Amino acid sequence: MEAKRFHIDDLLEPSEAFHVAMKPLARRFPRFAHDHDFFEVFWVETGQAEHWINGTVQSLRQGDMICIRPTDTHAFKADEATGCKIVNLAFRAETAAHLASRYAAEFAGRLFDTPDPTPSPWRLSGTQLSTLLQAASRLRTQVRSLARIEQFLLLLAGELIDIGVQPEAPGPRWFVNACRTVREKEYFRRGAAGLTDAAGRSHEHVCRTCRGVLGLTPSAYVNQVRISHAAELLRSTELSIREISEDCGIENISHFYRLFRDQTGSTPRLFRKRTQADPFEAR
């Protein structure tokens, strides 16, 4: 697909640091794809879309989010039946460079400068999608300052990386789709069997592919998804730890504690205390 280059100075005044748009996609690919001299992040708010990027096509649905580098060439097309609305945030290259330098552990090589030839989608949970939509809506009415965009990107990193599961490594499309599907509760509650069912392949085939692509067993990968879900509930609800363990599909509370500590370095109780701490309460 022939490509054009988009320039940040066509979107922003010199004093501005970002541009945010919430828009429906056309139901056909544009005549030209495009790359940029800036970074962007977009996610699917509603519907489904096809995303042509660097010569491949990704099928995206509600909650899928992708971080786009200046060298990525891409174009969108909404699904004929469902349509698609996306949220798109563009910001200057120097902002990404500063964050990767200042917050290397959170950003470097993980969000906006991954070494992969094609960036993989992150799968936003319902809570994450709601949080980012609210934050993006606020950005639309605020001064387009450097402080505002850095605040948003730090929120983004915290929502996805603090406890979140990494995007899928390149692999067969059926496996990538299965990894995204298993992040839904009806699948991850069933453990490795949920990943096998989502893949529609034999357990042995899924095991071989999972080890080859992710370096993990299906159980280990699904447990990462479960603990990510548990962390969200610990941060945002008053459910008991046992209720959260059961919501994740883990009946053995000791096993849940061990999995949570291995992934986060903390017990569920200490994690909740840290993330729900009231700064006005005496310690």
Task: Tell me the per-residue pLDDT of 86-134, one tens digit each, with 9 for 90 and over.
Answer: 999 999 999 999 988 888 877 777 788 788 888 888 888 777 888 889 9
| pLDDT, position 282 | 45
Residue at token pair 């909404």: 78
SS3 151: helix
Burial of 169 (0-12, 13-18, 19+ CB in 10 A): middle
Q: Which tokens is 124 given?
A: 């936003």
Residue 280, pLDDT > 60, answer no
Ranges in the chain annotated CATH 1.10.10.60: 173-275
Q: Are 21 and 45 in contact (CB under 8 A)?
A: no
Q: Which of the four pLDDT bands, split at 50, 70 and 90, describes residue 16?
A: very high
Q: Which residues contact residue 130 at a Cβ distance below 8 angstroms, ignoring those fewer than 6 apart?
A: none
For all residues of the chain together, what is the average pLDDT? Answer: 89
Rounded mean pLDDT, 157-165: 67
- C-alpha to C-alpha distance for 51 and 283, rounded to whole angstroms: 50
Q: Which residues contact residue 227 at a Cβ distance below 8 angstroms, ignoring those fewer than 6 apart?
A: 163, 248, 259, 260, 263, 264
CATH number of 173-275: 1.10.10.60
- Packing angle, helices 268-275 and 218-236, rounded to 10: 40
SS3 137: helix
Pairing of strands 38-53, 74-78: antiparallel
Q: Long-range contacts for 28-32 (Cβ within 8 Å, ≥24 apart)? A: 28/77, 29/1, 29/75, 29/76, 29/77, 30/75, 30/76, 31/2, 32/1, 32/2, 32/3, 32/4, 32/75
Second CATH level (architecture) for the domain 3-161 = Sandwich (2.60)
**What Rg, from alpha-carbon coordinates, does the chain have?**
20
Ranges in the chain annotated CATH 2.60.120.810: 3-161
Residue 185's closest CA among 246, 235, 253, 237? 246
| pLDDT, position 283 | 45
- C-alpha to C-alpha distance for 145 and 19, rounded to whole angstroms: 10
Q: Which tokens is 15 given?
A: 């004093």
Rounded mean pLDDT, 188-197: 96
Residue at token pair 């989010």: 65
Share of the chain above pLDDT 90, in %: 63
Q: Which of the four pLDDT bands, split at 50, 70 and 90, describes residue 162?
A: low
